[in-house]
Amino acid sequence: MSRLDGLLGPSREHSAGSSSSAERDLGSDDDFTARAVVTGLLIGCLVAFTNLSLGLQSGWTSMMSLQSALLGFGILKFIRVPSFQNRPFSPQENAVLQATAVAVGTMPLSAGFVGIIPALNQLDPEQDGSGPIKLNTWQLLAWSFALAYFGVFFASPLRPALILKEKLPFPSGTATAQLISVLHNKPLANPDGPPASSSASTNQREDRSSGGQEEVGSKAGFQALLWSFGGSATFTVASFFVPVLYAIPIFDPICPGHNAAAMWGWWFTPSLSYIGQGIIMGLPTSLSMTLGAFVGWAILSPISYYTGWAPGDPLSGKDGSRSWLMWIALAIMCSESILGLVALFFANGTEDVKKWLGKASSSLASVRKNSHRLRRQQPGLLDTGSDGQNGGVENEDDVEHEPPSRLTSKRTVLLGLLGSTILAVILIELTFKRDSSTPGDSKHPASPSPASTILAILIALVLSLLGARALGATDLNPVSGLGKISQLVFAVTSPGNVVANLIAGGISEAGAMAAGDMLQDYKTGHLVGSSPHSQFKGQLVGSTLGIFVSVFAYQLYSRAYELPGPQFPAPSAGVWLNLARLLNNGHLPPKSGVFMSVFAAVFAVTGVMRSVARARSMKREHGSGGTAARTRASPRPRWEVLAGWMPSGIAFAVGILNTPNFSLARLVGGLIGYYYLRHVRQQTRTQREDEEGEGRGEDDEYADMGMSGNTVDEQTGLLRRRAFSDGEGNEDDAQAAPAATNSRRTTRPRARQGSPALEGVFIIVIASGLVLGEGAASIITLILKQSGFQPLTCFGCRGGCSSC
């Protein structure tokens, strides 16, 4: 997934501290428009091809909500379509647009096209009791329809609890709302209270008075997007004809005689898409990936090869060190994601139970008294403010302010859950039904029983809740780890059935993925004032188109390339299949168990520390109604600071799974983003000093806090502005996250053209173009490949040039 919370902090032109920041017409539901949906579908198709390509190459995909909002804004603002220009394109429509695009773009992962489907293709009759299962087009469509919808219906009833009551930050959803606010030059709607009011119109007058600056910035940003998009696409097509451009053997001269590229996978891929990914994911994550690549391919791979533990070709996924390393990556993923989730539960679970019991008892007392007065409630999980003004009375912020016409009805949700469950049971039964007339098919076990499919969906429901809360608190949705939990359950309920084990894991991953994406979209819509029901409809429409796009794209790739193969190794498929085999009377490669235990233990500790530290950090920042609660007087504990420097286990494992070339390109992007944003931070401080002069006061103290005020986000590494309260409700350069309802705006000179405010967005604009450009060009190279075109030259290729 893309996690960009905090980058746009410096680019907020409007204080988050206004008691109400935008006008919302609660009686209308006109943000579900044809232009928003159609544009979202078109962008989603591009994102789907991009995600499928990246997923099959490296196992890493992104929901790309920011990129979708950015590209959609540019299309509808600067590409004039008369029938679509009857009124200005609104932030609420943009929220629907990006929700629709995300639904289309993430379907390759939700439907298992980067993991489960390639894993089924690799089944071995001797190991798995089943030959390879290669689904035809109709079967792929049926499988995708079975998985596409129940996760969306899971998310709707979670919205009031996780977004309104607990006020989980959902950083990526918040960051998308911040970007939409900047693009449209509109302040965010107040998420912590009922929409209103006079100050909204005041803010909008201020916005209109200086709107030219933002418009110029938006045009410049869109031009940068086009240039980066075109450059990335051009390089991708050029590398098809000259493959060495995509696999430069730069380490062979450094290590002569070791054949670093052809034998050990050490070459450099200057893919602009992966450089863009590195910019987006940030330096900490890209460093973790590179560290994993170094440990895996420079240390463990030679050890396993020369000791005879993995005697085959090191790059082989069957008997080489690549397959041996996969077990270590699997252990790291499972230990960090599962134990991190457990740690979050125990860190907050007792508190949650007490609060929910308190709410239930107070509600029951209110009913007994037949009183319509205010009833007592405890604050939500992340609502850590201690103003005490509510006196235990239910916070008005916890109440749903959307009218029923803008919400998805309970009846729709219940019928949808029931219908999608029945649909899944029928389609999975038809898709994997054994055909005894075909010798190859008669070798694999019968399809999962209807009871097994229902059990898998029920497990997915529980795991979706856990994953959604982890996503809301930490911006990480551990879908891979959640799928592994389902595999563990089915190893007990359906022992020896590898096919059922894989399918159960795919169902859990699909449910958790769709529910998490939908809740991120709900958070964005909540902040910009979009109708939840409009986003819900956009998600359903997008999911439906995403099914056809994903099946079409996967069929193109499977016909043009070997899956898995040299260019598209589909590393996620190996992880799924290896765990299924291990849980069903499988065995480990020699000595891999020892290394698995050591690495699992190390990353279990670091994962727990990182998860709890990240949740505590989010709690402080978004507590007290949304403002940051931490000041210079309350520094972070030393262990939390240490946790921020620990490598991400998931990223480390991805670095082990993939050959080093992908991680090296991401590291380049991470370094570019880091130094660029360090420059932006310095400009921001200099600008503040110039504007405030001798009267800085407490603002000068804030500027001198350095990393206490401007921090590098633990997940993205991108610059993050923390809201700093002066004790009287004023906020200095507040983060774009919502502030407390009682705070008031601080008068500041507005950012001028060319200021760091716009520069903070500019780097993400470029990175988005780099990522999407390669995705678009992959369609062209697929067509060229299927049309019989070959490379013009294989000069310089020493490994990694798949076409040679």
| 3-class DSSP string for 388-433 | CCCCCECCHHHCCCCCHHHCCCHHHHHHHHHHHHHHHHHHHHHHCC
pLDDT confidence of 399, banded at 50, 70, 90? low
- Give me the mean pLDDT over the 187-216 stretch: 42
Q: Which residues pair with 719 in a beta bridge?
A: 712
In 3D, which of 336, 264, 306, 150 has the Cα closest to residue 659? Answer: 264
CA distance 292 to 689: 42
Q: Identify the top-confidence range among 470-484, 517-531, 558-572, 710-724.
A: 517-531
| Contacts of 545 by beta carbon, 8 Å cutoff, 6+ apart | 41, 44, 45, 104
- Tell me, yes or no, whether 744 lies in a domain: no
Please count the structural domains in the chain.
1
pLDDT confidence of 168, banded at 50, 70, 90? confident
pLDDT at 224 over 60: yes
Provide the residue type at 165 as one letter: K
With a pLDDT cut of 90, the percent of the chain lying above it is 24
pLDDT confidence of 801, banded at 50, 70, 90? low
Question: Looking at per-residue confidence, does 384 or 479 come out higher?
Answer: 479
- Give me the mean pLDDT over the 672-697 stretch: 76
CA end-to-end distance (rounded Å), the chain: 32
pLDDT confidence of 258, banded at 50, 70, 90? low
- Tell me, yes or no, whether 364 lies in a domain: no
User: What are the backbone angles phi and psi of residue 62, rounded to the nearest 5°?
Assistant: -145, 150
Structure tokens, 17: 């501290």
Query: Poorest-confidence range of 334-348, 560-574, 743-757, 771-785?
Result: 743-757
**Tell me: the pLDDT tens digits for 265-292?**
888 888 899 999 899 888 888 999 999 9
pLDDT at 3 over 70: no
Q: How do strand 731-732 and strand 724-725 relate by DSSP bridges?
A: antiparallel
pLDDT value of residue 355 = 54
Tell the burial category of 746 from Cβ atoms under 10 Å away from its Cβ (0-12, 13-18, 19+): middle
CA distance 247 to 250: 9
- Tell me, yes or no, whether 534 lies in a domain: yes
Question: Looking at per-residue confidence, does 544 or 9 come out higher?
Answer: 544
- Tell me, yes or no, whether 204 lies in a domain: no
Question: Looking at per-residue confidence, does 804 or 721 come out higher?
Answer: 804
Q: Is the dihedral of CA 497, 499, 503, 506 positive or negative?
A: positive
CA distance 655 to 661: 10
pLDDT at 216 over 80: no
Structure tokens, 57: 């190459």
pLDDT confidence of 800, banded at 50, 70, 90? low
How many CB atoms are located within 10 Å of the residue 609 CB? Answer: 18
User: What are the backbone angles phi and psi of residue 724, rounded to the nearest 5°?
Assistant: -120, 115
- Tell me, yes or no, whether 481 lies in a domain: yes
- Give me the mean pLDDT over the 37-54 stretch: 94
Provide the residue type at 677 as one letter: L
In 3D, which of 69, 65, 66, 63 has the Cα closest to residue 94? Answer: 69
pLDDT at 509 over 70: yes
CA distance 426 to 145: 11
In 3D, which of 220, 209, 218 has the Cα closest to residue 184? Answer: 218
Look at residue 720 and give its three-state secondary structure.
Answer: strand
Query: Poorest-confidence range of 84-93, 416-425, 595-604, 613-622?
Result: 613-622
CB 761 within 8 A of CB 220: no
| Contacts of 342 by beta carbon, 8 Å cutoff, 6+ apart | none
Question: Looking at per-residue confidence, does 19 or 461 come out higher?
Answer: 461
pLDDT value of residue 298 = 92
Query: Poorest-confidence range of 77-91, 162-176, 494-508?
Result: 77-91
How many CB atoms are located within 10 Å of the residue 154 CB? Answer: 28
pLDDT value of residue 749 = 36
- Give me the mean pLDDT over the 374-388 stretch: 36
Compute the chain's Rg from CA coordinates.
26
Look at residue 725 and give its three-state secondary structure.
Answer: strand
pLDDT confidence of 556, banded at 50, 70, 90? very high
Q: Which residues pair with 721 in a beta bridge?
A: 710
Tracing tokens 């939500």 back to the chain, one arrives at 380
pTM of the model: 0.76
Q: Where are the alpha helices (DSSP H) in 129-210?
A: 137-148, 150-159, 171-184, 198-209
CA distance 345 to 315: 39
Tell the burial category of 410 from Cβ atoms under 10 Å away from its Cβ (0-12, 13-18, 19+): exposed
Question: Looking at per-residue confidence, does 340 or 676 come out higher?
Answer: 676
- Give me the mean pLDDT over the 152-166 stretch: 85
CA distance 287 to 290: 5
In 3D, which of 22, 25, 18 has the Cα closest to residue 402? Answer: 25
Look at residue 347 and give its three-state secondary structure.
Answer: helix
pLDDT at 182 over 90: no
CA distance 6 to 4: 6
- Give me the mean pLDDT over the 762-784 stretch: 88
Give the total residue count for the chain.
804
Question: Looking at per-residue confidence, does 337 or 633 come out higher?
Answer: 337
Query: Poorest-confidence range of 222-226, 357-361, 612-616, 652-656?
Result: 357-361
Look at residue 62 and give its three-state secondary structure.
Answer: coil
- Tell me, yes or no, whether 123 lies in a domain: yes
How many CB atoms are located within 10 Å of the residue 640 CB? Answer: 18
Cα dihedral 572/577/582/584 (nearest 10):
150
CA distance 384 to 619: 7
pLDDT value of residue 104 = 96
Q: Identify the top-confidence range among 69-83, 147-161, 357-371, 624-638.
A: 147-161
Q: Where are the alpha helices (DSSP H) in 432-478?
A: 450-474
CA distance 391 to 274: 52
CA distance 552 to 540: 19
pLDDT value of residue 1 = 42
pLDDT value of residue 81 = 61
> What is the domain extent for residue 170?
34-190+217-352+410-433+445-621+638-681+758-787
User: What are the backbone angles phi and psi of residue 355, rounded to the nearest 5°?
Assistant: -70, -45
pLDDT value of residue 172 = 84
Q: Identify the top-confidence range among 291-305, 319-333, 487-501.
A: 291-305
Task: Determine the number of helices (DSSP H) and then strands (DSSP E) in the chain.
Answer: 28, 4
pLDDT at 175 over 90: no
CA distance 268 to 249: 6
pLDDT at 437 over 70: no
| Contacts of 458 by beta carbon, 8 Å cutoff, 6+ apart | none
pLDDT at 657 over 90: no
CA distance 258 to 253: 10
- Tell me, yes or no, whether 101 lies in a domain: yes
CB 268 within 8 A of CB 250: yes
Question: Does 256 sit behind a cis peptide bond, omega within 30 degrees of 0 on the bond before it?
Answer: no
For the chain, the average pLDDT equals 74
pLDDT at 706 over 80: no
- Give me the mean pLDDT over the 552-559 stretch: 92
Look at residue 724 and give its three-state secondary structure.
Answer: strand
Question: Looking at per-residue confidence, does 632 or 671 come out higher?
Answer: 671
In 3D, which of 443, 580, 468 has the Cα closest to residue 133? Answer: 443
The DSSP string of 651-669 is HHHHHHHS-HHHHHHHHHH
pLDDT at 207 over 80: no
In 3D, which of 797, 767, 672 has the Cα closest to residue 232? Answer: 767
CA distance 174 to 520: 8
Query: Poorest-confidence range of 437-446, 574-583, 792-801?
Result: 437-446
In 3D, which of 695, 715, 579 has the Cα closest to residue 169? Answer: 715
- Tell me, yes or no, whether 171 lies in a domain: yes
In 3D, which of 793, 261, 783, 302 has the Cα closest to residue 566? Answer: 261
In 3D, which of 743, 758, 632 has the Cα closest to residue 17? Answer: 743
CB 317 within 8 A of CB 574: yes
pLDDT at 730 over 50: no
Q: Identify the top-confidence range among 351-365, 521-535, 749-763.
A: 521-535
In 3D, which of 234, 245, 161 has the Cα closest to residue 774? Answer: 234
CA distance 68 to 539: 14
